[in-house]
Homo-oligomer: A and B are copies of this chain.
Amino acid sequence: MTEDEKLRADARANRGRILEVARQALTSDPGASLNQIAKAAGIGAGTLYRHFPNREALLAAVYHQEVQALVQLAPALLDTYSPLEALHHWCERFANAGSVKQGIADTLNAAVSVEDLQHTYRLLVDAVRVLMEACEQVDGIGKGHDPEAVLTLLSSTLRIRPGAHGKALTKRVLDLIILGLRPSPST
């Protein structure tokens, strides 16, 4: 019996609808208000706060889903592609993290304090670590680099504005990150 199944039927349905509606609302407007979301979900404001104690908690839950997808993508890519190609693909997918880019960036920012976010954060760091370690046996990637530092660098792409210039800049930024992973001459 999962945590979710402990809830009464109507409560479980509400929780799901809140997350679904919130996801859509925040996609079209990252500043959407909780009252708007509650109304769109057809529930009272108090119900929303019963499920998510504050705005940050709701955002964390929404973005956690997107992070889950990214985390699961890493081993899948390693199954299909060479390690270096997998790393490249994953970084691109990360940089274009759906329509919730800013939200993921905020999740990473806040990750130090909140319990739930720390877990999300560690999942991402581990995904990066798995990709990097697979690459260490391949030309072009050196050993001993820090996955957390790489994730921090990757997060800078989440703040890049959409558009043609942003797309080109994202590519240059990702290339520069990979360049940083080259093995040192001595090693």
Contact = CB atoms under 8 A, between A and B. Distances in A.
Interface stretch (A21-29, A59-67, A105-113): A105-113
Contact of A182 (B160, B169, B182): B182
Given A169-B148, A173-B149, A161 B108 contact: no
Nearest to A146: B172
A162 to B, nearest CB: 9
B152 A156 contact: yes
B149 A172 contact: yes
B177 A112 contact: no
A181 B156 CA distance: 17
Interface in A137-187: 145-146, 148-150, 152-153, 155-157, 159-161, 163, 165-166, 169, 172-173, 175-177, 179-182, 184
